[in-house]
Every structure is written in structure tokens, then in C-alpha cells.
Amino acid sequence: MTLMNKNRTSGRTVGGLRTLSLQAPAVTLLLLWMIVPLAMTIWFSFQRYNLLMPGMTGFAGVENYEYLLTDPALWSAMGTTLLLVGWVLVITVVGGTLLAVLFQQEFLGRGIARVLAISPFFVMPTVSALVWKNMMMHPANGVLAWLAESLGLPALDWFSSLPLTSIIIIVSWQWLPFALLILLTAMQSLDDDQVEAARMDGAGPLAIFFYITLPHLKRAISVVVMIEMIFLLTIFAEIFVTTSGGPGLATTNLAYLIYIRALLDFDVGTASAGGVIAIILANIVAIFLVRMVAKNLEQ
């Protein structure tokens, strides 16, 4: 695409030449950043390449893929990835929509309440994961354990009895504010007159929500879903500092599996095959997002 761009513009006006020279640094760097590692990942995925076995190299054909696809760990990681992405999406989109409606109402100190509610999104992942792990979910000294005991319930050892649920809670806590932030912004462009007119015609709050607010938010919701999906497919830090993928493979998602294969087992070939699978998954989502943004550019 970019090469065609160069050919077409360079032969024309001075403006075209200027455009080319101004864009060259950004375009060249991004092209390198994308093509080189991508090509290497694909190349490695067909190679026999293990850093611990330097003698064993050469073309492996689809061996790495075969090995990976018959490895139960991959399917378990895929399942974990889907569960993690799916649940976080449901929680953040439904929760974010409801919260956006709530924070759109006028009330005393709304500005400060909004700022507090979107704050977790700005907290670095390692901090939020450790605060939840140590201070909220700790089975002996955590706030949740204390709450449960005050209510006369047994304290829960979150990370050993409900490992994936715990990760889902932490990740949702980080991404709910993102959904809220985007949906609240979208909500501000909702036509007040339309809502007022509907109210005059006797529409209740529920009818207004389902027939006016929700359709208005449809586009913003789909943007939230796609952007979250791309980030959530490769959640890493939260797993790294809390469960390290365990117990067993309970919280190992695709990203963490590739990390284990590459940097702990030094199996470059298999890790790269895993990388290719991750890229394919992300691109299925990305196509829709790019299309939607493209439509917006035309307007």
C-alpha cells in the first residue's frame, strides 16, 4: 500500500513530493516495525530452533504447528483466553453502559465521582494486580476475607480456589473504567430534545434506555468491544504477577503460553507458531475495527 503511495505521488506535484518526504520517517519506521518481526515470526515458526539445542536447526515444515496443535496446553490456553476475554467483555460492556447512564444523571459532585470511577484505568497493570492479590483477595489479611468473616462467611482463598475468576475480576476492574469513559463521551452527544420528546410522549425510563440510549451507543459499544478484545487477547502482566499461569494451567492464556515456550523453555520454533496463531486471532477482530474507523473517515 505504501509503496504504491510513493510511486503515485513522487511523479506529480511539489506538494506530493513534500507529502512523501514528510511522511517518510513515520511510514518507514512503522513498516520496518511491522514487517521485520512479522516475517521473522513466520520464518521461525517453520524452523527447528531451540536455544538450548544449538545443533538442532533446519527447516521443520509444519512440525511446530503440529506439535503445538496436538499439545493439550494450547487448547487449554485457547479456552482460558476465550473465557477471560468473554467474561471481561460482558462485565465491562454491560457494567460500563449502566454506569454511563448513571453518571450522565445530574447529582451533587458528579464530576469528582466520575473521576474516581475512571481512575483504575490509569493504574499500571502490575500495581492493580498486586493490590488486588495482596490487599483485597489475600485469604488471611485481605479486605474481602475480613468482609466475609464479618458477615460470618468462610474466607475464600481466591487464587487457589477460583484462579481464573480472580484474574477476571482484576482485569474487569481495570477495563470497566475504559468502557465507562468511552460510553460516557458517546452519551454526551445524545440529543436531549429527543429524550425530552420521548418523555413527553409518555415513555418510561426503561423505554428511553432501550429505544433511544442503547441504539445511540451501539457504535461506541462496538468500538469498546473491539479495542478491548485486541488488548485482552494478550493479557500478560496481571497473570505474570499473580498466578504465573497456575495452578497447573488454570490461568495460562495464549500470551502466557507463548512466554513460557519462548523465554522459559527457549523453544523459539513452537513459540513463534503460537505467535502466528495469536496474530491471526487478533486480525480477525481487527478487520472489523479498521472497517468501522474507515467508515468514520469518509463522513
Query: What residues numbered 201-220 form the site for other proteins, per CB under 8 A?
Result: 219-220
CB closer to other proteins out of 129 and 212:
129
26 contacts other proteins (rule: CB under 8 A): yes
Q: At 248, list the grid cell.
A: 497447573
Distance CA 41, CA 95 (A): 38
> Phi/psi class of residue 123: alpha, beta or left (left: φ > 0; alpha: ψ in -120 to 50)?
beta
To other proteins, the closest distance from the beta carbon of 22 in angstroms equals 4
For 117-153, letters b (16+ CB in 10 Å) and e give bbebbeeebeebbeebbeebbbbeebebbeeeeeeee
CB closer to other proteins out of 212 and 232:
232
289 contacts other proteins (rule: CB under 8 A): yes
3-state class (DSSP) for residue 53: strand
Q: Of residues 18, 94, 190, 197, which one binds other proteins by CB under 8 A?
A: 18
Stretch that binds other proteins, among 56-64, 151-159, 190-198, 266-274 (CB under 8 A): 266-274
To other proteins, the closest distance from the beta carbon of 278 in angstroms equals 5
Beta bridge partners of 48: 58
Distance CA 101, CA 184 (A): 8
One-letter identity of residue 277: I
CB closer to other proteins out of 163 and 177:
177
Q: Of residues 53, 62, 124, 153, which one binds other proteins by CB under 8 A?
A: 124
255 contacts other proteins (rule: CB under 8 A): yes
Site string for other proteins, 37-66 (x = CB under 8 A): xx-xx--x----------------------
